[in-house]
Structures are given as C-alpha cells and as structure tokens.
Amino acid sequence: MQKETIATHYGYDTKTGPGAMAVPIYQTTAYDFGSAEAAAARFALEDPGHIYTRLGNPTTDVLESRIAALEEGSASIVTASGQSAIFYSIANLAAVGDNIVVAKKIYGGTMVLFIHTLKRFGIEARVFDSDSADDLENLIDDKTRAIFFETLSNPQIAIPNFKKIVEIADKHGVVTIADNTVPTPIIFQPLNHGIDVVVHSASKYICGQGLSLAGAVVASKNLNAKLVGNARYAHFNEPDESYHGLVYAQMADKFDIYTLRMRVALVRDIGATISPFNSWQLIQGLETLSVRIERHSQNARKIAEFLNSHKHVKRVTYPALKSDPEHEKAQKYFAGGMASGLMCFETDSYERAVKMLGKVKLFKIVVNIGDSKSLITHPASTTHQQLSSEELIKAGITKELIRISVGLENADDLIADLAQALE
C-alpha cells in the first residue's frame, strides 16, 4: 500500500461491527474481560485485548497502526502530546547517571526538557552539531543511551548529516531518535535511512488544523536487533521487577520490545495518554496529510521566493530554494522537491521584525506550526525565551529571526499580507 492509501484505510476493517465508514470513537476508560482467565491472559501479554485506556484503546490502535505503517516502522505509541512522546522516547533508554547526545538545532521546548528537566532526573544532555556531526563521536561514551535530532529542525530549518550520524551510532550501538514533525513521513521516512526511532508532535501537520495535542513514537523494524544483548540497554535484557520479572529481550520474536517496554512500564506509570476523541480527530487529519503537505510546500516555496528578493529581508532559510545551504540535502533526502510549510527569515533590523508582527493580518501571531492557517512568530521573545543568550546563539536564533508556518490559504493573499507588513 502507498502512503495515501495507508492514511485512509490501514488498520480498520468496515466489515467489523455495524460497518461504520468512519473509525468509531471508543470513548471508554476500561474493558470487560469476561472472565478471570481472560483478564490474567491480558496482563500476561498472552492475549492482546485491552485492559484500560491508559495502556491502549481501539480508536488509538487504528491511529498507531497508520502512523507506524506510514513511517514503515514495526510499532508505534501515540501519546498525549509531542513533549510526552519525546520524554518517553528518552526515558525508555536512559536513567540516572546516563547521558544523551542531542542536536543543538532543535525545538526550544525539547531543549529545555533535555538540558534542564532531565538533568534533575540525573540524565546529562550533551549538545552536538548535527549539520556536520563532526563532534558527535567524541561525545559518546559507555553511558550514552541515545542520539536525538530533528529531521528538519524547528525553527532553524536545518537538515542533519543523517548518514554520518547513523554510521557513528551503529558503530557504537547507540539508539538514534529523530523528530520528524516538520517533514512528516510524506516528505521523509527516517527509518528507511537507518534511524532507529521516530517521534512526532502530531499536534502539528498530522492533526493539520490546530485542533488537538498529540505525540507519536515509532520504532524501526531493526531496533530489536540493536537492543537484544546490547550492554548499553541492560534493562531490556534483564528481568523487569516492575513487571513480574519480564525480560523484554525474550519477547523479541513476538513484539517490538522498545514500544512494548514503553507501554507496559512507562505509559503504565506516567500515563500521558491521548484521549480517544483526540485520536479520532488525528485519524481525520491523516487522511488529508499528503495533499496538505503538497500544498503547504507549494505555498511556502512561492513565499520563500518572494521574501528572498525583498529589500528588507536579509536572509531566507527554506531548503527548497536553490540558494539555501541545505538545498543539496533536501534534494537528496526529501520527496518530490517538497520542504513542508516552515521557514525562517531575518529582517534588516530587530525593530522591523517586531513591527512586522504588529502589521500582519492574515498571519496570526501564534507559537504553533502545521496549522491550515498561516502563523508567524518571533522565537527569541517566545518559544526560545527561556534560553540564555548563550543558549540562543548555540541554537542559531538571532533577534531579527522570524519564523512562519505557511498555511493553506491562497499564496498570493499571503504574499500581499507579508509585503504590506514589511514596508
């Protein structure tokens, strides 16, 4: 099945139940086991039936199977938000005393989680330059449990050196995690490039209209092989006392053990679970993802070309532009010349950047991306405000930088709005 078909049909059979064409919303907290034996079999992971919605739900199952199939992964877990997906993805690998190596160009919220919050959990985040990955190998030691980066970074719009990162990670047996929120699997499928885990803020393009928060974690078909017998991941290879001595590595012939452990231990204990209604809304979003991403990319390219020749714009960062330093990587990795709807530009002064936000009419001042409606933001004063000046420079954010998320309106109307706001 191709992506458009997966997004519309995968994991749901209209021949079940009354034949509803739309995936039903199973708005329920719990499930009738029917018998004590059936209940015991479910807890023992012998019967895949449901236990309690914190751990899984039939509506959410459909969404998880579609996202896993779109990323060509082996299994996925959908969560309450992108942030919880990212937290789970790391907490499933690292514990107190361990470290992770993270790209310097990532979403501000993720960086704060890594640098400040995980530090209080005893997990150290070491920052590397994902553009070149030249410094990556030196940062890895025996305690390194994950390498994290974004496939098209928000807000810097950078594309990592995937090949080199994967080579180094595989050499050292370290798990790679890629946040694929901005390209989405329509433009780029990280698992097909040797990356081990994909995470998403599904609140963005997958939802598509700024309606619901959600996150997703998808594991590669090769991840079991990387975890089994790997001394870095002893907790997958030794009995889990919190689950009556379950050894995940021994389940590798039946389960994807990365998402299995995440579900039965982390999702169970932490419970950042998506509501069935939000899962249903994301199922609607997925059905139009491919057409939306195409249009977001077309509109964004037109706007990038306009901004690129504007007298008050110093620099435009959009990888579909020939002049962009990331253009070659975009050509190599991204499908159909698309680069999604996110771009950055620098105005000729800080004053103009601030004034511009006051003058736009169609573009709304919103710290979100991936909406059908066009959005504009000034990262230095909002999403990245909690970072110090030094951290800002490290993250590649200048005070003149403006980020826009190009929506699905008419591109000429959007250009006219930006033109009047830049005067």
Asked if 181 is part of the footprint of ligand PLP (rule: CB under 6 A), the reply reads yes
For residue 297, the minimal CB distance to ligand PLP (Å) is 17
Question: Of 179 and 324, which has the nearer Cβ to ligand PLP?
Answer: 179
- Of the residues 89, 92, 110, 224, which one makes contact with ligand PLP according to CB under 6 A: 110
Match 């400040």 to its residue by tokens: 116
Question: Of 186 and 227, which has the nearer Cβ to ligand PLP?
Answer: 186
Restricted to residues 281-340, the positions that interact with ligand PLP (CB under 6 A) are none
Asked if 198 is part of the footprint of ligand PLP (rule: CB under 6 A), the reply reads no
Of 32-40, 66-74, 76-84, 409-417, the segment contacting ligand PLP by CB under 6 A is: 76-84
Question: Of 69 and 113, which has the nearer Cβ to ligand PLP?
Answer: 113
The contact pattern for ligand PLP, residues 227-266, with x = CB under 6 A and - = no contact, is: ----------------------------------------
- Of the residues 56, 82, 185, 396, which one makes contact with ligand PLP according to CB under 6 A: 82
Q: Which amino acid is at 232?
A: R
- Of the residues 183, 190, 208, 215, which one makes contact with ligand PLP according to CB under 6 A: 215
Asked if 210 is part of the footprint of ligand PLP (rule: CB under 6 A), the reply reads no
- Of the residues 107, 128, 236, 258, which one makes contact with ligand PLP according to CB under 6 A: 107
Question: Of 110 and 224, which has the nearer Cβ to ligand PLP?
Answer: 110
For residue 236, the minimal CB distance to ligand PLP (Å) is 25
- Of the residues 56, 58, 73, 109, which one makes contact with ligand PLP according to CB under 6 A: 109
Of 1-9, 24-32, 80-88, 250-258, the segment contacting ligand PLP by CB under 6 A is: 80-88
Of 54-62, 201-209, 264-272, 283-291, the segment contacting ligand PLP by CB under 6 A is: 201-209
Please give the Cα distance from 295 to 290 (Å, whole number): 9
For residue 112, the minimal CB distance to ligand PLP (Å) is 11
- Of the residues 60, 89, 203, 290, which one makes contact with ligand PLP according to CB under 6 A: 203
Please give the Cα distance from 180 to 86 (Å, whole number): 11
Of 79-87, 122-130, 233-241, 348-356, the segment contacting ligand PLP by CB under 6 A is: 79-87
Question: Of 117 and 410, which has the nearer Cβ to ligand PLP?
Answer: 117
- Strand 75-79, strand 124-128: pairing: unpaired
Of 42-50, 107-115, 260-268, 298-306, the segment contacting ligand PLP by CB under 6 A is: 107-115
Task: State the residue number with the nearest CB to ligand PLP.
Answer: 82
Own/partner long-range contacts of 408-411 (Cβ < 8 Å, ≥24 apart): 408/292, 408/295, 408/296, 408/299, 408/372, 408/373, 409/299, 409/362, 409/373, 409/374, 411/298, 411/299, 411/302, 411/303
Asked if 275 is part of the footprint of ligand PLP (rule: CB under 6 A), the reply reads no
Residue 80 CB neighbours (<10 A): 19
Question: Is-contact 293 406, C-beta < 8 A?
Answer: no
Of the CA atoms within 13 Å of residue 395, those in its CB half-sphere come to 28
- Of the residues 213, 260, 274, 316, which one makes contact with ligand PLP according to CB under 6 A: 213
Of 11-19, 164-172, 199-207, 405-413, the segment contacting ligand PLP by CB under 6 A is: 199-207
- Of the residues 81, 184, 275, 290, which one makes contact with ligand PLP according to CB under 6 A: 81
Q: Which residues of the chain form contacts with ligand PLP (CB under 6 A)?
A: 81-83, 107, 109-110, 150, 154, 179, 181, 201, 203-204, 213, 215, 369
